[in-house]
């Protein structure tokens, strides 16, 4: 079986990606307005962001 890979995403895939980005942005904004922390992925590691984020050993250094 030979699998070929397209170099560019289809129009449908691009639309799905844009909708996912918008949904995540809305969820993060809602958490920010409510004063809740969020866990995001940054530099290959999960990071707690927000004023009420629990303190971890890495953030206390």
Contacts with 32 (C-beta within 8 Å, 6 or more apart), sequence order: 38, 50
Contacts with 26 (C-beta within 8 Å, 6 or more apart), sequence order: none
Instruction: Dump pLDDT digits (tens) for 41-52.
Output: 999 999 999 888
CB distance 24 to 41 below 8 Å: no
Specify if 16 maps to a domain: yes
- pTM of structure: 0.67
Burial of 61 (0-12, 13-18, 19+ CB in 10 A): exposed
Instruction: Dump pLDDT digits (tens) for 2-61.
Output: 777 767 889 999 999 999 999 999 999 999 999 999 999 999 999 999 888 888 756 555
Specify if 33 maps to a domain: yes
Instruction: Enumerate the H helices of the chain as residue ranges.
Output: 11-34
Specify the number of domains making up the chain: 1
Specify if 59 maps to a domain: no
Write out the residue range of the structural domain in which residue 27 sits: 11-49
């Amino acid at each position: 079986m030979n699998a070929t890979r397209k170099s560019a995403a289809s129009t449908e895939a691009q639309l799905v990606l844009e909708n996912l980005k918008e949904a995540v942005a809305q969820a993060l904004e809602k958490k920010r307005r409510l004063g809740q922390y969020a866990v995001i992925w940054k530099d290959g590691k999960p990071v707690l962001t927000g004023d009420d984020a629990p303190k971890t050993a890495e953030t206390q250094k």
